[in-house]
Structure 1
Amino acid sequence: MVDHQLDRVFQALADATRRELVARLVKGPAAVKELAQPHAMSLPAVMQHLRVLESCGLVASEKAGRVRTYRLEPAGLRLAEQWLGEQRTGWERRLDRLGGHLAADLPERTTS
């Protein structure tokens, strides 16, 4: 289940517009109209992007009267951050082992 959720998070973040929306929401909650303002697209198109972000758990919304406000959901970003951290740790270990191997091999090469 976590893999499916992670797939959806990365799929949502693969789109530049959605990444811009998330970056804006890092500053704090915002109404749809405010989120749509810097984008050269219709309000329904922006709302569709927001629905994708909401469906994968990156943002949440609430409606007060006629105004829908979105806010960032840190748990969704933590899922991606955790996966990336695990990948980074694995690569760092491999590179450390390679560095150790090359360092151990270096004196033999310089004396030959």
Structure 2
Amino acid sequence: MTAPRGVYVYGVVRASHTVPPGHTGVGERPAPVRTLRAGALAAVISDAPARLRAKRRDLLAHQDLALTLGKDGPVLPMRFGMVAPDEESVRRQLLSARHDCLAAL
């Protein structure tokens, strides 16, 4: 098994928002989707695939997850291909640094 190539970020939701069970992310071998909480917000993430390509399958997986999340509350979707180096980067540079702005949206 190879080490993850970073963290794929699908969007930002309220910290209380849950990901429906069984959802997987993008890639040839999609990883399970999970939430990463910081304060009142959470990023919906998965391990990034080793080789991310803009294939129809992956674009639809990204879109399907955003639509599914939107059924249970507001979602600030990220563009396709948003990859961060690690969970701490997502927590520090996205959720914490932009917390007030994202929460207002």
Give the TM-score range, shorter chain.
under 0.3
| Higher share of residues assigned strand | 2
* Structure with more of its chain in helix, by fraction: 1
Bigger Rg, which one? 1
Higher relative contact order (CA 8 A, sep 6+): 2
TM-score between the two structures when normalised by the length of structure 2: 0.27
